[in-house]
Amino acid sequence: MDTTLIIGILIVVLALVFDFSNGFNDSANIVATVIGTRALTPAKAIFFASIFEFIGAYFLGTAVAKTIGKGIIDPMIITGDKYGIVIIFATVLSAAGWNVICSIFGFPVSASHALVGGLVGAGMVAGGLDIVQWKNVLTIIVVLILAPVMGFVGSFIVTKIVYFLARGATPRVNKLFKFLQICSSMTFALSHGTNDAQKTMGIITFALIVLGLYKPTGDVFIPNWVIIACALSITLGIVLGGKAVISTVGMDIYKIKPINGFSAEGAGAGVIYLATALGLPVSTTHIISGAVMGTGAAERIKAVRWGQSANIFIVWLITIPSTIIVSAVIYYLLLNGIKFLGW
């Protein structure tokens, strides 16, 4: 079998493992609030979420995949460089490793932060500062920072409006909001699929172009089989879900009720849809975390467990610099190891 093809297969497998780990950690947050309010049992929540996740990943566009695939580092610049593919190995290994570590400790983590940091770190070591498209990177970082804030503010406002409209209502209104929360949870799953699975699609396509195994034609940038594989992989991650992360987002930040769950997921989905329409990767994990904080703060500031929120914020803050460093080190070690072996 051709060496290039073997490398391509290995890259695809590694990327899909990352996609799965993203589903295991990140996508579990989709069902955290609906489980936390007992609107659905864990089994039903995960079942419905997996269906909507796949629909979002497969049917609702590839704008974010294009941004990851050619908006941070242009793959055409390193096509033909026999060591160019090492960038992808370093990126995927650093991002997947970061995802796994955070999952073990029960911290929600951003796949977007990890991938952007990984690409930038490995890219800088490979080709210097000029290889990175800094304008796009800065835009992505600004959006990554603002998105959780928008989730917080949006959820805060929606919660205030909902409580105003529901004033004087009987406790039976919670039954209505349990139904509405189920709808908002599935909407959030759909929005998650449109953004998160696309990140891995972009990474795989980047690798295939660099290896010369694929050449985009016309408006088609992402191969259909890549879309299917990534959609299935992230969906499998949801099915096998991360219970620790579900607990952290669903209960540890703020003990939510159906009204709060509806507000948080509705606001969070709106932010993600907006970012996806603009082709920008965002952290769905931190958007929903911010939205849960927002709905809690709207009801009572002291109800939010700010200590747990601070831990999530710290992980959010250090992910990009950490993955830049880790990816750069992995790239350096892999490259020198390959050269030492005479490959």
Question: Quick one: which of 13, 26, 7 has its CA closest to 288?
Answer: 26
251 to 13, 39, 175, 295: CA distances (angstroms): 34, 14, 20, 13
317 to 80, 110, 259, 296, 310: CA distances (angstroms): 36, 10, 29, 22, 10
Question: Quick one: which of 229, 244, 261, 282 has its CA closest to 28?
Answer: 244
List the chain domain ranges: 3-333
| pTM attached to this predicted model | 0.83
Top-confidence residue, 106 or 93:
93
Reported confidence tier of residue 3, pLDDT bands at 50, 70, 90: confident
Whole-number pLDDT of residue 334: 92
Taking the C-alpha atoms of residue 55 and residue 206, their distance in angstroms, rounded to an integer, is: 23
On the 0-12 / 13-18 / 19+ scale of CB atoms within 10 A, 171 is exposed
Here the tokens at position 65 are: 């995949």
User: Does residue 244 have a pLDDT over 60?
Assistant: no
CA dihedral (188, 190, 195, 197) in degrees, to 10, reads: 120
Q: Which helix (H) or strand (E) holds 256?
A: none
Tens digits of per-residue pLDDT, 169-210? 666 777 788 888 899 889 989 998 889 889 899 999 988 988
Cβ neighbours of residue 264 under 8 Å, at least 6 residues apart? 33, 151, 155, 256, 288, 291, 292, 294, 295
Taking the C-alpha atoms of residue 132 and residue 100, their distance in angstroms, rounded to an integer, is: 26
Here the tokens at position 250 are: 């669903």
Indicate the DSSP class of residue 8: H
Sign of the dihedral through C-alpha 180, 184, 186, 190 = positive
Here the tokens at position 267 are: 């606001």
Indicate the DSSP class of residue 304: S
| Residue 127 identity (one-letter amino acid) | G
36 to 108, 221, 256, 289: CA distances (angstroms): 16, 39, 7, 13
Contact 88, 207 (CB under 8 A): yes
Tens digits of per-residue pLDDT, 250-264? 555 456 678 888 888
Tens digits of per-residue pLDDT, 33-78? 777 777 888 778 888 888 999 999 898 888 899 888 888 988 877 7
Tens digits of per-residue pLDDT, 218-237? 776 899 999 999 999 998 88
Reported confidence tier of residue 24, pLDDT bands at 50, 70, 90: confident
Q: Mean pLDDT over all residues of the chain?
A: 84
Instruction: Kindly write down the DSSP assignment for every residue of 189-251, as one continuous string.
Output: HHHHHHHHHHHHHHHHHHHHHHTTS---BTTB-S-HHHHHHHHHHHHHHHHH--HHHHHIIII
Here the tokens at position 185 are: 């949870």
Tens digits of per-residue pLDDT, 269-299? 999 999 999 999 988 878 988 898 898 888 8
Bridge partner residues of 220 (DSSP): 217
Here the tokens at position 252 are: 């540890």
Q: Average pLDDT, stretch 12-36?
A: 79
Taking the C-alpha atoms of residue 187 and residue 339, their distance in angstroms, rounded to an integer, is: 49
Taking the C-alpha atoms of residue 287 and residue 271, their distance in angstroms, rounded to an integer, is: 8
Contact 319, 112 (CB under 8 A): no
